Amino acid sequence: METNRNIQTETGIVVPTISRERHQLLLSSLEKDYGILPLQIVEAASFSLAMVVRFALGLSAERSRICVLANESLAGAVALTAARHIVINGGDAVVLVTCGAEEKNSQFLEGKSLARSALNTLETLGVPFQSWDATKSAALVQEVFQECHNVICGLFDYRTEQEPFEQTVVEALNEVSTPIHCVTCPLGVEPDSGISLGEPLFASSTLSLGLPLHAALESPDNLGRHYLCDISIPGALRETFGLEAPPLFPEQPVCKLLLHTPEEDSEEST
- Confidence label for 1 from pLDDT (cuts 50, 70 and 90): very low
Does residue 209 register a pLDDT over 80?
A: yes
Q: Tell me the per-residue pLDDT of 53-81, one tens digit each, with 9 for 90 and over.
A: 999 988 788 889 999 999 999 999 999 99
What is the pLDDT at residue 247? Answer: 93
User: pLDDT tens for residues 80-109?
Assistant: 999 999 999 999 999 999 887 777 788 888
Helix locations, the chain, DSSP H: 20-34, 38-56, 74-88, 102-110, 114-124, 138-146, 164-174, 215-218, 220-223, 235-240, 262-269
Domain residue ranges of the chain, discontinuous segments joined by +: 6-269
What pLDDT, on a 0 to 100 scale, did the predictor assign at position 163?
Answer: 76
The CATH superfamily assigned to 6-269 is: YjeF N-terminal domain (3.40.50.10260)
Distance CA 213, CA 145 (A): 27
